[in-house]
Structures are given as structure tokens and as C-alpha cells.
Amino acid sequence: MTQPKKLFIKTYGCQMNVYDSERMAEAMGGQGYVQTDRPEDADMILLNTCHIREKAAEKVYSELGRYKGLKSDRPDLKIGVAGCVAQAEGEEIMRRQPLVDLVVGPQSYHRLPDLMARTSNGAKALDTDFPEEDKFEHLKSRPKAKRGPTAFLTVQEGCDKFCAFCVVPYTRGAEVSRPADRVLDEARDLVERGVREITLLGQNVNGYHGHEKGLAGLIRELAKIDGLARIRFTTSHPNDMDDDLIAAHGDCDKLMPYLHLPVQAGSDKILKRMNRQHTAEQYLRLIERLRAARPDLHMSGDFIVGFPEETEEDFQGTLDLIAAVEYGSAFSFKYSERPGTPAAERPQVPEAEKDDRLQRLQALLTRQQRALQDAMVGRELGVLFEKPGRMPGQMVGKSDYLHAVHVAAEGLVPGDLRRVRIVESGPNSLKGVLA
């Protein structure tokens, strides 16, 4: 009996890349590949890359360098680079790393099997087009294996906002939304296979227009699916948070009380230079409206410190905004230049000032996050259990607010959704007992 070929995928970056990696694995599964977690065992190595973080491309080249020995020992080993770095630097990757057999952008990965076939005779394959066809419709349907209780589901890709610091419009292209009927079919399939919570994904997910009533309309249709207990979505832009989506946070029980809504800065001057097209005051008023609809809503955000021309006064505006909102979680970064973006050409803030500001900002965020987590003690929360804990008889799950919750209880299995009384708050998680 012929042994199946093995595929190793390393995924960088956001949840959308996790989803994309799953679909690429499925596409290659139709060609007889099974996944392995060891590159040493693989017949094909695929790096699914992200271009958002600092020195993203260099990290990819460093990772590729580790595979030179494998390629030397096994010339038939195929190595591919996918994702946003592939889109931005496809030909350069081929030039700098001759061991790479194929490069495929995030909008073309449905063509992965054809690209692999091209490499069978030693040829190189490069595809970083923005094809007109729907890649999701060209992919093999998901295999009917059981799934864990949570899943990502991409509903929208690309971005038309052109923030001055961001490469997404150049690597993922213009905003495109999947038709609602196709999203709903995929969601039903996931639920049939054991999924109880779905997170809707998009670079600008609340700009979704595949349903006549936008993202709120899609969420309300998803909420009708029996067996689907929880709905989340990420990542959102403040300018696309419309009235109906705000209302959904108050009237859709399956939509969880946790919202990731990046603002990036609290200074109107910096927001304008970022091309965010909203002010700090508009963002704060939006938060007020959301919390009026759902008073227990926990907010998450993104922050960039040291953006070109940011002064100490500008930075203080960001601290003031954070103090006003009180975030349950957040992601914060020093600004790093992205070649080809407008901000890369502007006067840069010294690294020492960036470091100092990032430390102060993260200290404030950490205090807020810990205070909100500590406030969970004594409350009853819904917890969707996902996997066994480290201790015998322990299960770990996620609360309504995305806290990790540990419970010692016999008989719990992944997929159970139970009420839990929180009894202790640790550094990064909660402990509870079944209510």
C-alpha cells in the first residue's frame, strides 16, 4: 500500500492565516497529503506568512534557512511560501532562497495543487495574482471529520481603508465579501461536525456586505442554526460599526459580549496621519453606544506607539483614551516601517522613546486587564470547554469574555457549555467550579 505524502504547515500571524492554513491542508489532502507536525518527516513544507509585524520577511528567510539541510538531504522535498509576505515579495523570495519551489499569495491558494504539479519536474511556480474567481468555491469541501468545539470562518477579505501604516490593502487586495448562503452552508457543516462556537473573520469584518443587512444580518441568520451556541467576529473598524450591528450586541444572545475594535491611537493629529478617518471622541462615543446596548461588553483593541511625528502629548492622548475605555484585553506594538506605505517616508520617533512609551502603555493595559479579570471572582459565567487541563480531571475552556477558565470536574468533555462560578483569578486565567 502506498504511503501518503506528508505536509508540514507553519502558520504566522492572525486567525485568518489559521483558517487559510486549514483550507490549504484540505486542498492538499485532496492530492493525498496528510499533515505532520515535524518538518523532518514532510514531503512538503509550507510557510503561511504574515506581513504585519516587524521584520516579518526576515523571519521567513531565517526559517527557510533552517531547511537547507533537509533540502540537501532530500532533493524531492518541496518547500513553499504562502500568505502576505509571499504576496509582497514573491519574486524576491525566489531570488534570495533558491530552495523555495513555489510561492502563492493569499488570494490564490486554491491553485496550490496545480502549482505543486508544476514543480514535479523541477520547475518553479509563482502565483501572486488577485484572481476574479472565488477561491472558496474552488477548494475541496471540508472533510467530514469531527472538529473541536470552536472554529474560525472567513467571511470577508481585503481592506479599502488604506491606513498609512498598513500593508493589507496591498497584500490582500480590495474588500470582498463571501455570499451569505455559502457562509451559512459552511457554518452548518461545522456545527454538524461538533463546532459550537464560530468566530467570523475578516480584515475589516464589519464591512461585510454579503448579506443585504450586512454583518448584523449574517449574525442573526447564523443565530438560527441549532447547535451553534456562540458567535464572535474580528477584526472590526470603528467606521463600519453601524446601528444594526450595535443593536445586535444587545438583542442577539448568541453574540458574545466581547468586541475587538482597534483604535490605534488617542491623538486626533496621529489618527489623521494614520488615515483612520475618525477622531478619538467619535471612537469614545461609539463605545458608549455599544455599552448602552450591552452593558457588560468587554472591549479589546490595538495600539501603535511611536508612530511618525508622535509627541509626548500625542501619546498622553492615547493613555487618556485607554483610561476612559477600560480594556479587557489589547494588543500593543511599537511602530515599525513597512516599505511602500505612506508612514514609512515620514520622520521617525527614536527607538528609545518608542520603548519607553510602549512600557508605560502596556503597564496601564495590564492593570486594566487584571482588574476586570479579578472582578470575575464570585460571578457565574458561561464556559465552553475545549480540552483537558494539565491536572488529572481538569478541563479548560473559554468564558463569554474569552478568559481561559480551569475547572476540576469529572465527566466534562470538549464541547460542553456549562455555567461556572469563578473562585480564583490567576495571572492569565481563572479557576471555577460548576454552578
Q: What is the DSSP string of 337-349?
A: --TTSGGGGSPPP
Task: Indicate the CATH number for domain 144-256.
Answer: 3.30.750.210
- Report domain extents, the chain: 5-127, 144-256, 380-434
CA–CA distance, 27 with 49 (Å, rounded to integer): 18
Query: What's at 230, amino acid-wise?
Result: R
The SS3 call for residue 199 is strand
Q: Cα separations (Å) of 318 from 279, 358, 361, 369?
A: 12, 11, 8, 16
Asked whether the CA dihedral 208, 212, 217, 219 is positive or negative, the reply is negative
pLDDT in tens, the chain (435 residues): 567 899 999 988 777 788 888 888 888 887 889 999 999 999 999 998 877 665 667 888 888 988 988 988 888 899 999 888 788 788 888 888 889 999 988 777 778 888 888 887 788 888 877 555 455 565 545 555 678 899 999 999 889 999 999 888 877 788 999 999 999 999 999 999 999 999 999 999 999 999 999 999 999 999 999 999 999 999 999 999 999 999 999 999 999 999 999 999 999 999 999 999 999 999 999 999 999 999 999 999 999 999 999 999 999 999 999 999 999 999 999 998 887 788 888 889 999 999 999 999 999 999 999 999 999 999 999 999 999 988 888 999 999 999 999 999 888 999 999 999 999 999 889 999 999
Q: Do domains 5-127 and 144-256 have the same CATH topology?
A: no
Cell reading at 232 = 464572535
pTM of the model: 0.80
Which of the four CATH numbers 2.30.130.10, 3.20.20.10, 2.30.40.10, 2.40.50.140 does domain 380-434 have? 2.40.50.140
Check residue 136 and give its pLDDT.
Answer: 57
Type of residue found at 214: G
The kind and range of the H/E element at 240 are none
Q: In terms of C-beta distances under 8 Å and separation of at least 24 residues, what long-range contacts does 262-265 make, across chains too?
A: 262/235, 262/236, 262/237, 262/301, 262/302, 262/303, 263/238, 263/301, 263/302, 263/303, 263/321, 264/163, 264/165, 264/302, 264/303, 264/304, 264/307, 265/303, 265/304, 265/307, 265/310, 265/314, 265/317, 265/318
Cell numbers found for residue 72: 540537501
Longest dimension (CA), the chain: 69
Could you give the CA distance from residue 337 to residue 345 in angstroms, rounded to a whole number? 9
Strand 33-35 and strand 44-49: the pairing is unpaired
pLDDT at residue number 298: 97
Predicted local distance difference test score (pLDDT) of residue 18:
85
Are 386 and 149 spatial neighbours (Cβ–Cβ below 8 Å)? Answer: yes
Query: Do the Cβ atoms of 225 and 187 come closer than 8 Å?
Result: yes
What 171-175 contacts at long range (C-beta under 8 Å, 24+ apart), as own/partner pairs, is: 171/51, 171/84, 171/87, 171/88, 171/105, 171/106, 172/84, 172/87, 172/106, 172/107, 172/203, 173/107, 173/130, 175/203, 175/204, 175/207
Please identify, in words, the CATH class of the domain defined by 5-127. alpha beta
Give every CB contact of residue 363 below 8 A, 6+ residues apart in sequence. Answer: none
CA distance 331 to 76: 41
Please tell me the predicted confidence (pLDDT) of residue 114: 85
